[in-house]
Amino acid sequence: MNRYSSTKKKLDKSGIRVYSTTYYPPIPISDNDKFIYPVEGSRLDSLAYKYYGDSTLWWIIAKANDIKGKPALSSDELIRIPGDVVNIIEKFTNLNTNE
């Protein structure tokens, strides 16, 4: 899933295409979540591929764990892997198409 596929696009004053703001839904803790200690140096995209089968869903894990601008994880960090991905993607799509 391309996280920008549902983000609205517009033209700026000079005619260049730009994206509108991308909004992310809150991701509350669920009984379906998994909690893991990643292998040292694991990346969000590799965890997304392992748990969701889609590396482009890395942003779900990042949002759930409030991770910003961090390329690799350390093995002493407890990471939450949200389980209800379909619902999260649906909320994300609704936020970004119904502005």
Q: What is the pLDDT of residues 46-64, one digit of tens each?
A: 999 999 999 999 999 999 9
| Region at 40 (left for phi over 0; alpha for psi -120 to 50; beta for the rest) | beta
Query: Could you tell me if residue 85 is inside a domain?
Result: yes
Domain count, the chain: 1
Instruction: Examine residue 2 and state whether it is found in any structural domain, yes or no.
Output: no
Q: Mean pLDDT, to the nearest integer, of 66-81?
A: 93
Sign of the alpha-carbon dihedral angle for 31, 36, 42, 46:
negative
Please check whether residue 73 lies inside any domain of the structure: yes
Q: What share of the chain has pLDDT > 70, as a percent?
A: 89
For residue 24, give both structure tokens: 């992310």
Residue 25 sits in which domain range?
9-97
81 in a structural domain: yes
Residue 4 resides in a domain: no
Q: Name the pLDDT band for 5 (thresholds 50, 70, 90).
A: low
Residue that has been written with the tokens 């939450």 in this structure: 80
Q: What is the pLDDT of residue 45?
A: 96
Alpha helices (H) in 1-99, listed in sequence order? 44-52, 58-65, 85-97
> Dihedral angle at the C-alpha atoms of 62, 68, 72, 74, nearest 10 degrees?
-80
52, part of any domain:
yes
How many Cα atoms within 13 Å fall on the side-chain side of residue 73? 23
Q: Is residue 1 part of a domain?
A: no
Whether residue 16 lies inside any domain: the answer is yes
